[in-house]
Structure 1
Amino acid sequence: MLPSAPMSENLLGELAGVLPPEGLVTDPDVLDAHRRDQASWAEAGTPRVLVRPGSTREVQDVLRVASAHRVPVVPRGAGSGLAGGANAVEGCIVLSLTRMNRILELDRRGLFAVVQPGVINATLKAAAAEQGLWYAPDPASWEFSTIGGNLATNAGGLCCVKYGVTGDAAMGLEVVLADGSVVRTGGRTVKNVAGYDLTRLFVGSEGTLGIITEATLRLRPRPPPATTLVASFPTLVAAGAAVTEIMAHTRPSMLELMDRATVRAVEAYRPMGLDVDSAALLLARSDAGGDQGVTECSRMAAACEAAGATFVAQSADEAEGELLLGARRLAYPSLERQGATLLDDVGVPLSRIPELLAAVERIAEQRGVLIGTFGHAGDGNMHPTLVFDRNDPAAVARAQEAFDDILRAACELGGTITGEHGVGALKRPYLARQLGPETARLHGTLKAALDPQGLLNPGKML
């Protein structure tokens, strides 16, 4: 149940007392623009006020005011989320962290950076590159999403098959709790097992347990130029079989899949000579470098051929590899041009990928819905994307049924309802089914301990 949000006459005045003029916004048009993220299906209320703190101290002050008035607080980054995790609830304070956008420290020898949550992922990558280093997590929104949002959802990306998700790069955090107190978790060392792993607790909690105001993130040496492989398959199941074989014998730095509907959408949007007749296109990379990278790609090519690929090619040319990678990054925006979309985000064990792909094909046929499937095949995280006519009530109903079917199929295969986008408001009704009653109860216990009034991002996750 959402907490009440009484319309105290003193609320705005008290917020104005702890924030600079640019940190407090009540303009209706601006508030409307901050009501929701990219998940158009998820419900969203109208915020009472938008606050833009510029420091940890200002975040503390805002939460103390909110706690005193029992007003919900919805934290927000760039608004690029896909599960409604940043959607406002009625009468809430939307707390935007975009003004907290400084890289506080970048230690080239220690291989870490200390950043505020409003830093754009691409900005950190560029700063690391200037020092000959690399920040690995690369969600599809890396050019405009914020580190705070990436941490809140434990975002993944194309490189996570080898280098892990955002949480694997998080060494330590500064977090403001609901009562305005500040805690620090983790640290700057590679190993640190002192106490509970609170860093992992807050990463992926979608702002429901605390608000991240600073992060210490692991950097890596820049990898050598990659060798890229592309393969076409006559069936989705054959492509899935190739994925499982590749992951059993190699460690690609990227392994991505696009089905026929997605390839055709990309080719229609930006022609680049893709094979629009194949059932699936597999993109793989090795950044092992030199002869080792070529050998690794050759092993992946052999796995594709053994699985029945109709076309296999590899290239060490960086420009050609980036062109193919660009095709994968265009998957979702290309499908959006085909109609209204409902993007799913499920994960299954690697051995069950062929079954998931077959299930999605079956669901699309049974429900009469166009579904473009693409995603991070190397870690079993796929994004079946439903395309439909939003103005047709019957089409909308079929899309919702297909969405439910896909979530159910993933869970039956031992998988998850979300691999990297988060639960948010969109998938909240499904979480308890995956967790089970006892684990769901434990989630509630943790939430009550850290946010007893239930003010932090209510209506999300739990």
Structure 2
Amino acid sequence: MMHKKVKKQLEKLLGKEKVFSQKEYLVTYSYDAAGKESLPELVVFPGCEEDIRHTLRIAYEHKIPITPRGAGVGYSGGSVPIQGGIALVFTKMNKILCIDTENFYAEVQPGVVTYNLQQEVEKKGLFYPPDPASLKTSTIGGNVAENAGGLRCFKYGVTGNYVLGLEAFLIDGGKINVGSHVIKDVAGYNIKSLLIGSEGTLAVISKIILRLIPLPPYRRLFRLDFASLGKGAEFINQMIKENIGPSVLEFMDESSIAAVFDYLKLPKNSNLKAAVLVELDGNKGDVEERAQRLSRLVKDSQVLDYKAAETEAEIEELWSIRRNISPAISKYKPKKINEDIVVPIGKIVEAVEFINNTAKEYGLTIILFGHFGDGNIHTNVMVDPDDEDEMKRTEIALDKIFRYVISVKGSITGEHGVGITKKAFMKYQFSDREIEIFKRVKRAFDPENLLNPGKIF
């Protein structure tokens, strides 16, 4: 148990208003969206870099585990303090330090909410594309720690594609600067990329330098309905070959369509088995030209129905279908286990069929939707946590699904990270030698294993 002296040291250096041991604080910062729980012994809210330095130095001196935390909306248990210690919560470090419109970058603290940054840069005609589903609550620091993706990944890439540089603190309180303020930088080892997606296990990020791009002035949104997911995949493949260039390619399979159409009380064609949302963005003339080519492609294909959103209300209606999948599927069971497997895009239809067959084999309800353009399938297993038999069947089914994913050259996680929920499946994607290399890297940064211990491997 943590000695009271540690709390007093932190209170003296940071202020009592930043250090808490009351039960309500410990419980609040004991879990994330994965539903895993473990109480920290202290909750610390750093307000500046010196607060981070002091906290790490004291933790290092007393061999106390530190779990960095953003908004706690991750699905892998990555921000759960499974070894107790200190939960280091970055919600107070939420300043946008600068937006440089001449050099196209922003400097932000790790607690900045993703949506807030997007709104501020758009006021200046700039664009920060990464848009995880949690963007209105998730923080940039958390996004960097997980290398978060989002709906626009197909065209714009993931968080890591927009990180120019990082300032971070090592476990002993020493500060490092990695990357820079420019796009091209090949000096030295690429430590920046090592920290991106490291889930808070190597260093504590204190500042992020993000690349910005010009804001696309015009967007169009379309919904395409199909009699099968296979027909949808054929159409998407042709659309990509035709260089229509969508910024968003989202799919819903029969299970998610049934849930969300019922939830929103929408009329549904009985033949509807798959739906795809397509967004085009750019200059108006270019978008309209691509929209015309999309329309011609629709006429020459087996699209069941085609809706083109013209007004803001119509656009909102189409997006509401995608946004309401999560609340819609909650009717099936009290809890969802949300996995985010990735397969090559040519294997999406096969993967969906495999998962559906696995669900039938083990008597489970699995709802599927995701990002068609990059093969990222959100696999939602609906369960009753109190049903021990169902939880055991779920464990076996997920193990089978993860082994299949690796067999087709995919990945066990595309956005959510490994955390604690996918540790057991790392052996399918990596050899013992490769995992040992991960451990050596971890020891080089954190020899005492104090930074977010027990995660990834």
Q: TM-score range by the shorter chain?
A: over 0.9
Q: Distance in 1 between matches of 2:288 and 2:413?
A: 34
Shift of 1:290: 2.8
Q: Secondary structure of 1:328's match?
A: helix
Equivalent of 1:31 in 5, 26, 30:
26
Q: Distance in 1 between matches of 2:300 and 2:360?
A: 28
Hey, what does 1:265 align to over in structure 2?
259
Greater displacement, 86-95 / 308-317: 308-317
Q: Distance in 2 between matches of 1:240 and 1:337?
A: 28
Amino acid aligned to 1:284? V
Hey, what does 2:344 align to over in structure 1?
349
> 1:245/1:439 Cα in 2 relative to 1: closer, same or farther (>3 Å)?
farther
Equivalent of 2:302 in 280, 296, 308:
308
Greater displacement, 290-299 / 341-350: 290-299
Pair 1:169 & 2:169 matched: no
Equivalent of 2:87 in 81, 90, 94:
94
Per-residue CA deviation, residues 32-83 of structure 1 (Å, 9 max, x unaligned), is 111010101x4x3221100011011111110110111111101111111111
Instruction: Tell me, yes or no, if the aligned pair for 1:239 and 1:307 is still in contact at 8 Å.
Output: no
Shift of 1:384: 1.3
Amino acid aligned to 2:80? N
Q: Distance in 2 between matches of 1:274 and 1:64?
A: 59
Hey, what does 1:336 align to over in structure 2?
330
Equivalent of 1:13 in 2, 8, 31:
8
> 1:461/1:430 Cα in 2 relative to 1: closer, same or farther (>3 Å)?
same
Greater displacement, 437-446 / 9-18: 9-18
Hey, what does 1:374 align to over in structure 2?
369
Equivalent of 1:254 in 248, 258, 264:
248
Equivalent of 1:323 in 314, 317, 320:
317
Hey, what does 1:76 align to over in structure 2?
69
Q: Secondary structure of 1:226's match?
A: strand
Q: What are the ranges of 5 or more consecutive residues in structure 1 without an aligned counterpart?
A: 1-5
Map 1:17-416 to 2 at 5 A.
17-40=12-35, 42=36, 44-250=37-243, 251-273=245-267, 275=269, 277-300=271-294, 308-339=302-333, 340-416=335-411
Q: Distance in 2 between matches of 1:136 and 1:19?
A: 35
Shift of 1:20: 1.2
> 1:324/1:455 Cα in 2 relative to 1: closer, same or farther (>3 Å)?
same
Instruction: Tell me, yes or no, if the aligned pair for 1:100 and 1:116 is still in contact at 8 Å.
Output: yes
Greater displacement, 131-140 / 397-406: 397-406
Q: Secondary structure of 2:303's match?
A: coil
Instruction: Tell me, yes or no, if the aligned pair for 1:237 and 1:358 is still in contact at 8 Å.
Output: no
Shift of 1:320: 1.6
Amino acid aligned to 2:382? V
Q: Distance in 1 between matches of 2:302 and 2:360?
A: 24
Hey, what does 1:3 align to over in structure 2?
none
Amino acid aligned to 1:103? I
Equivalent of 2:434 in 424, 435, 439:
439
> 1:302/1:360 Cα in 2 relative to 1: closer, same or farther (>3 Å)?
farther
Instruction: Tell me, yes or no, if the aligned pair for 1:260 and 1:276 is still in contact at 8 Å.
Output: no
Instruction: Tell me, yes or no, if the aligned pair for 2:225 and 2:272 is still in contact at 8 Å.
Output: yes
Shift of 1:303: 5.5
Amino acid aligned to 2:287? G
- Percent same amino acid among aligned pairs? 35
Q: Distance in 1 between matches of 2:331 and 2:231?
A: 28
Q: Distance in 2 between matches of 1:219 and 1:274?
A: 40
Per-residue CA deviation, residues 220-245 of structure 1 (Å, 9 max, x unaligned), is 21112212221112222322333333
Q: Distance in 1 between matches of 2:63 and 2:78?
A: 20
Per-residue CA deviation, residues 318-366 of structure 1 (Å, 9 max, x unaligned), is 4322321222122223222432211110111122222212212211221
Q: Secondary structure of 1:382's match?
A: strand
Pair 1:448 & 2:436 matched: no
Cα RMSD of the aligned pairs, angstroms, is 1.8
Amino acid aligned to 1:293? V
Q: Secondary structure of 1:426's match?
A: coil
Q: Secondary structure of 1:359's match?
A: helix
Q: Distance in 2 between matches of 1:194 and 1:303?
A: 46
Amino acid aligned to 2:324? L
Q: Secondary structure of 2:261's match?
A: helix
Shift of 1:390: 2.8
> 1:352/1:248 Cα in 2 relative to 1: closer, same or farther (>3 Å)?
farther
Pair 1:459 & 2:454 matched: yes
Shift of 1:307: 6.2
Shift of 1:428: 1.0
Amino acid aligned to 2:326? Y
Q: Distance in 2 between matches of 1:443 and 1:246?
A: 39
Instruction: Tell me, yes or no, if the aligned pair for 1:97 and 1:118 is still in contact at 8 Å.
Output: yes
Amino acid aligned to 2:100? D
TM-score normalised according to structure 2 size:
0.95
Shift of 1:305: 6.4
Pair 1:422 & 2:417 matched: yes
Instruction: Tell me, yes or no, if the aligned pair for 1:231 and 1:310 is still in contact at 8 Å.
Output: yes
Q: Distance in 2 between matches of 1:306 and 1:406?
A: 35
Shift of 1:302: 5.6
Amino acid aligned to 1:109? E
Q: Distance in 2 between matches of 1:280 and 1:79?
A: 32
Aligned length: 455
Shift of 1:300: 4.2
> 1:362/1:406 Cα in 2 relative to 1: closer, same or farther (>3 Å)?
same
Per-residue CA deviation, residues 402-460 of structure 1 (Å, 9 max, x unaligned), is 22222222111100000001001100111132021222111111100000000000111
Per-residue CA deviation, residues 1-54 of structure 1 (Å, 9 max, x unaligned), is xxxxx53342222222221111101111221111010101x4x32211000110
Q: Distance in 1 between matches of 2:267 and 2:167?
A: 48
Q: Distance in 2 between matches of 1:305 and 1:412?
A: 37
> 1:415/1:389 Cα in 2 relative to 1: closer, same or farther (>3 Å)?
same
Shift of 1:94: 0.5
